[in-house]
Each structure stands twice: as C-alpha cells, then as structure tokens.
Amino acid sequence: MKTKIRANWSHAVLVCRKCSKKLTKKDLGFGPDDKPLAKALRAELGAGKTRKAAVGVIEVPCLDICPKRGVVVIDSRRPEEWRILSPDAPFDTEVETLR
C-alpha cells in the first residue's frame, strides 16, 4: 500500500465556496467572463484540481469570515495571510500575487 502520492503542485490556493456562491447568485464574478473565483483562478493560473497541475485551486467550506462582496482566499505559501478578493478589484493584479 502506498503511503505517499506525488503531486506536481508548487502550492495550493484555498477558496471559500460559500463566499463565491453568494457572489455568483448576485451575478458578480471574476475575470473577463465573470466566472466563480475558483474557475477564474484555474483558468488564469493554469491550475486544476488534479495532482498533475502546477498549482492547486481548491474550494473549501465556509471559513467563517463572510465578507460582503468578496471571497476569502488562502495561499498555502502564506497561511498566516488570509485575503479577501473583490470582483471590483483588478483581477490581473490579484492573480499575480497568487501565481
């Protein structure tokens, strides 16, 4: 039985599913196509859910922050810095900090 499974991820980006879903219901999204945040990040970072992707973007349950008009995001390289991304902010700039 294997105890270790290799992944190509350099890091993971955790996205609050509940925050993202609230914005999607209000027709607010991220990126040029107004997608839910996790989908927009996967497209921009060339990321995926599989272990073969360079970066992992994972939707997680509620993180108990619940900002208005924003989504909580955690970069595994800086777990002490939780971020709130807003659909109003320049998406390209936000993506660069997570690349």
Domains in the chain: how many in total?
1
CATH number for the domain harbouring residue 93: 3.40.30
pTM score = 0.90
| Domain assignment of residue 6, yes or no | no
| Domain assignment of residue 2, yes or no | no
C-alpha 10, offset from chain centre? 15
Provide the domain limits for residue 51.
12-98
Q: Which tens digit of pLDDT belongs to each residue from 27-77?
A: 899 998 899 999 999 999 988 778 888 899 999 999 999 999 999 999 999
What pLDDT score does 24 carry? 87
What burial letters (b/e) apply to 53-75, b meaning 16+ CB within 10 Å? bebbbebeeebeeeeeebbbbbb
| Domain assignment of residue 7, yes or no | no
